[in-house]
Amino acid sequence: MELKSVGIIGVGSYKPSKVMSNSDLEKMVDTSNEWIVSRTGIEERRIAEENESTSDLAYKAALKALENAKVNAEDLDLIIVATMTPDYFTPATAALVQNKLGAKKAAAFDLSSACSGQVYGLVVAQNFIATGAYKKVLVIGAETLSKVIDWTDRNTCILFGDGASAMVLSEVETGYGIKSFHMAADGSGEQALLVPAGGSRKPASNETVENKEHFLKMNGKEVFKFAVNVIPETVSKTLEKVNMTLENVDLIVPHQANYRIVSSAAKKMNYPEDKFYMNLNKLGNTSGASIGLALDEALEKGMIKKGDNLIFVGFGAGLSYASMLLTWAY
């Protein structure tokens, strides 16, 4: 069976209107604008309204992506939502988005791989389309991290923001689209980034709530060390599969975790830092949404043209990591 060429044919994103600056955080925890910027590169982040859920953000990003792709919701075969902040344990956030969109014939499921989730989702979508099982797939990365953050913990509350991004995938002309990918995980790092309670390991109780165990906990040093090592590794493996090198790459769109992580990885790769597209200064770390948010912004700025070779690279809880090489199709 000959596999079809699969690419992204439309991108959309949504950012909540509420902005939280570093000076706002100075009033909440013992920190300073200078400290946050020097260690992370983040100046501000977006925060969802109290009545705004992950599916609301996902839906708004999806509408823009479908419009951009000139695809009707009724024509979608599958919706994948990559998120670590779903509306509910069950049903899937993707099913809620399917209903909001009126995508009546689409299957829908969530994918849980934190900050690698959107790349994992794109790989899954590509395989469904390449084999001919489906024609149009919507991949969304959406997060309301502000709802799982302990706003008294200065190690985490300075980092994260809310947002959503969506991509429509379809068959594209030969020579364009997704060329290769690499996905990996290191489950021994489970404690480096996790929400300790609320699942079957430690069900919700008065005690877990009092101990703030439903909030995201992070070992920043461990995550930093992990990310700086795996970014060069996964990018190298993705390029090797198609006998390409970084010289062939026009732009890298990384997960927007921390400016120092990307800067350190760029040095390790001997690749110009200005070829990594970064927008975390205005959005913070939006986990599964971040790559698509950065991609959409780069497209709006006219930085990507048909035929450009792009790399997406994600890394985060699991620990998990993934990268993808694609030749832009429009």
Residues annotated catalytic, as ranges: 115, 255, 285
User: Is the backbone peptide bond immediately before 319 cis, with ω within 30 degrees of 0?
Assistant: yes
**Cβ contacts of 185 within 8 Å, gap of 6 or more:** 318, 319, 320, 321
| Residue 152 CA: distances (Å) to CA of 43, 73, 232 | 18, 41, 34
Nearest to 55 by CA among 144, 169, 151: 144
| Residue 267 CA: distances (Å) to CA of 38, 152, 262, 264, 276 | 18, 34, 9, 5, 12
Sheet bearing 320-327, strands edge to edge: 177-185, 320-327, 309-316, 251-254
Query: Up-side HSE of residue 215: CA atoms within 13 Å toward CB?
Result: 17
**Residue ranges of the alpha helices (H) in 108-219?**
117-130, 154-157, 206-210
**Cβ contacts of 219 within 8 Å, gap of 6 or more:** 191, 192, 193
Q: CA Rg, the chain, in Å?
A: 19
Surface-to-core class of residue 189, CB atoms within 10 Å of its CB (0-12 exposed, 13-18 middle, 19+ buried): middle
**Cβ contacts of 150 within 8 Å, gap of 6 or more:** 156, 157, 212, 215, 216
Identify the residue whose tokens are 């921390």: 258
Helix (H, G, I), strand (E, B) or coil at 319: coil
